[in-house]
């Protein structure tokens, strides 16, 4: 995914909290480093974002 002109590897996790009727989405953005000759590529965590969506009369809205 490209964000602000930079390429990121993005990993997403989502879960539901049944007690609060909320959906939690976690996104982790990793920057790829240029590997040296013969070395494996390294991913470094560049940023993380967490969103919560609360159910409101059948509609989901971000908080």
What pLDDT does residue 4 have?
Answer: 56
Q: Is residue 63 part of a domain?
A: no
When divided into structural domains, the chain yields a total of 1
Q: Is residue 48 domain-resident?
A: yes
Higher pLDDT, 34 or 18: 18
Looking at the DSSP bridge assignments, the partners of residue 11 are 28
The whole domain housing 32 covers 8-54
Question: What pLDDT does residue 39 have?
Answer: 79
Who has greater pLDDT, 6 or 50? 50
Between residues 23 and 54, the one the model is more confident about: 23
Entry pTM:
0.62
Cβ–Cβ < 8 Å for 48, 29: yes
Q: What per-residue confidence (pLDDT) applies to 5? A: 54
Q: Which two tokens stand for residue 19?
A: 């007690």
Q: Is residue 3 part of a domain?
A: no
Residue found by looking up tokens 């995914």 in the block: 1
- Is residue 18 a part of any domain in this protein? yes
Decide if 45 is inside a domain.
yes
């Amino acid at each position: 995914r490209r964000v602000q002109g930079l390429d990121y590897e993005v990993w997403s996790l989502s879960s539901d909290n049944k007690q609060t009727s909320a959906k939690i989405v976690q996104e982790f953005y990793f920057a790829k480093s240029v590997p040296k000759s013969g070395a494996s590529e390294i991913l470094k965590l560049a940023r993380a974002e967490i969103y919560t969506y609360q159910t409101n009369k059948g509609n989901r809205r971000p908080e």
